[in-house]
Structure 1
Amino acid sequence: MGRVQNKVALVTGGASGIALSTAHLLANEGAKVVIGDFNIEGAEKVAKSIVSRGGVATAKFLDASNAESIKEAVDYTVETFGKLNVLFNNVGVTNINKDLDVVNIDLGEWDRIMNVNAKSVLLGSRYAIPHMVEAGGGSIINTASMGGVASDAIRTAYGASKAAVVNLTKYIATQYGKDYIRCNAVAPGLILTPAAESNMSEAVLDIFKKYNALPYNGEPDDIGYTVLFLASDESKYITGQTIEVEGGHYIANPTIADSNAFINSQDK
């Protein structure tokens, strides 16, 4: 307990999934947490849940596509708790119906995804950094994706936006490290959020599992604990890094699962 005691954290997209898990873990370890989300009712529900367990949390409406809304959430955090030590830039969008291959992608969708997934990270950091400097330092954690380092048949804008997050993380770390501000990213693989489980069949989930080095898919807490580590002073000498939390899905020759299955079939 107490890994982030007395720190103040703003968690964007905190009403569900990865950020919901992270908000609870930060609060459990002593942080005061603001849950920023477009779904304000969901954010308030998370805050109440944290408070009911003895934590400190509040909710604030946040539209990650709107610069003023992001600034208001940052300012609200400082006005409510007196400082800002941790920013978790987690909001992200995707659309498999419009975010297609390069020839067929909807260009309006490209602009929307880049605005939310990449620009919101820039803006959140832009507004948070002066407050972190005043507080004597801080930790910014950005949600990237394995889609930012490995290509796919579709989701071109999503992958490009997450690649931008990976590189923007390095720029922030370089430019503000002397102010005791660290910036790192987490790149999740498949994570079994409620949205993933409701939108993906067991057969598809099993395909992902097949190509993992580990015999299971990830869960929101797997990302949450990584963010908690990066938010804490335990990671005080780590900055500019993207930590891949993906079960070993991308580490091996992609044919290995099928090759092993073929070899085993021959043995029989």
Structure 2
Amino acid sequence: MQNLKDKVAVVFAASGDIAGAVARSFSEHGAKVYVTARNSDAVNVLAREIKANGGRAEAAKVDALNETDIDNFLKKVVAENGKLDVVFNGIGLGYDEMGGRPPTTVATFEQFMTPMEKICGSQFLTSRAAAKYMIQTQSEGTILLLTAALSRSKLSNLAGITAASAAIEGLTRVMAAEWGRDGIKVICICAGALMETKRISGWIDAAAQQYGIPAEQLVAQYKAFDILKTGPTLKQVGETAAFLASETGVAFNSHIVDVDCGKLNIL
């Protein structure tokens, strides 16, 4: 089923595993997909893969933290297609980028603010630029954000990224309220820890080394709260994004959609 037939979709930070999976699903459901990232080599590979599988894709180097980059690229997309239907931003932070997991009493202000600026700030920039062009072209499109379950968790030594994750959820609700009159829906995907991604495996390995405990112990602690005997996959996250961007997905406007197969410790 092609829920996104003839839709025009832009995926920011598409060099990441989650955004790559979303781009693949958008294409499989019929969308023309523009994949962007600072790493042009990675998105070029992704675009070639999508086209090899019968999809339509174009790659471009875009910094999702540079407002001029974002605006110029979306302007180009609209000039080529006359509309903009779907935007997804999959930006994330590596363990080193946020300074590891220092206690809140030790973390610097810069370490606290880095996730807010890079994660929440990027979502703010890409979302508002997308909304501007959707309003101009009367596209009545879908803006999809990405957050982490840390927003509703109680884990120590993660003040910055936890605050940023919660901020993204609040931003989602505000933007949905502002742009709904223009037919734009805004939804936030909250993916559980995807063990198959390089970012999560890197987090686990780095935290295990920092605290001197086996990586397997950290994984077991996380999985102990699984409601089912299975966890989410990249493919499931991608398919969820495609559904939310479809006409049927309108029922979820302004919502935070958990993709985690159920967790006992997440509100």
TM-score by length of 1: 0.87
Distance in 2, Cα, partners of 1:43 & 1:52? 14
Aligned mate of 1:126, from 121, 124, 128: 128
Q: Report 1 or 2 for greater relative contact order, CA contacts < 8 Å, sequence distance ≥ 6.
A: 2
Instruction: Answer yes or no: is the 8 Å Cα contact 1:142–1:185 preserved in 2.
Output: yes
SS of residue matched to 2:144: strand
Stretch moving more, 216-225 or 28-37: 216-225
Distance in 2, Cα, partners of 1:28 & 1:249? 29
Question: 1:40-66 deviations in whole A, cap 9, x for unaligned?
Answer: 110110011001111111111122222
Stretch moving more, 169-178 or 68-77: 68-77
Distance in 2, Cα, partners of 1:205 & 1:98? 17
Structure label with greater radius of gyration: 1
Distance in 1, Cα, partners of 2:266 & 2:235? 24
Instruction: Answer yes or no: is the 8 Å Cα contact 1:99–1:109 preserved in 2.
Output: no
In structure 2, stretches of 5+ residues that fail to align are 205-214
Instruction: Name 1:93's counterpart in structure 2.
Output: 93
SS of residue matched to 2:244: helix
Instruction: Name 1:162's counterpart in structure 2.
Output: 165
Instruction: Name 1:258's counterpart in structure 2.
Output: none
TM-score by length of 2: 0.88
Distance in 1, Cα, partners of 2:118 & 2:99? 17
CA gap of 1:72–1:100, structure 2 versus 1, over 3 A, is farther
Instruction: Name 2:237's counterpart in structure 1.
Output: 223
CA gap of 1:34–1:147, structure 2 versus 1, over 3 A, is same
Equivalent pairs, count: 253
Instruction: Name 1:47's counterpart in structure 2.
Output: 47
Aligned mate of 1:114, from 113, 116, 123: 116
> Quick check: 1:3 aligned with 2:41?
no
Q: CA deviation at 1:3?
A: 0.6
Instruction: Answer yes or no: is the 8 Å Cα contact 1:85–1:135 preserved in 2.
Output: no
Matched to 2:132, the amino acid is P
Distance in 1, Cα, partners of 2:74 & 2:65? 15
SS of residue matched to 1:144: strand
Q: CA deviation at 1:139?
A: 0.5
Instruction: Name 2:211's counterpart in structure 1.
Output: none
CA gap of 1:118–1:83, structure 2 versus 1, over 3 A, is same
Stretch moving more, 199-208 or 5-14: 199-208
Question: 1:77-135 deviations in whole A, cap 9, x for unaligned?
Answer: 22343321101122121436445332111322333321111111111111111221213
> Quick check: 1:195 aligned with 2:199?
yes
CA gap of 1:206–1:138, structure 2 versus 1, over 3 A, is same
CA gap of 1:217–1:41, structure 2 versus 1, over 3 A, is same
Distance in 1, Cα, partners of 2:160 & 2:188? 19
> Quick check: 1:71 aligned with 2:75?
no
Determine what percentage of the aligned residue pairs are the same residue. Answer: 25
Distance in 2, Cα, partners of 1:38 & 1:223? 22
Stretch moving more, 174-183 or 197-206: 197-206
- In the TM superposition, 1:9-48 aligns within 5 A as 9-48=9-48
Distance in 2, Cα, partners of 1:225 & 1:90? 15
Aligned mate of 1:135, from 122, 138, 152: 138
Distance in 1, Cα, partners of 2:113 & 2:68? 18
SS of residue matched to 1:2: coil
CA gap of 1:194–1:94, structure 2 versus 1, over 3 A, is closer
In structure 1, stretches of 5+ residues that fail to align are 254-268
Aligned mate of 1:145, from 131, 143, 148: 148
> Quick check: 1:179 aligned with 2:182?
yes
CA gap of 1:68–1:250, structure 2 versus 1, over 3 A, is farther
Question: 1:205-233 deviations in whole A, cap 9, x for unaligned?
Answer: 23222221111232212211211111111
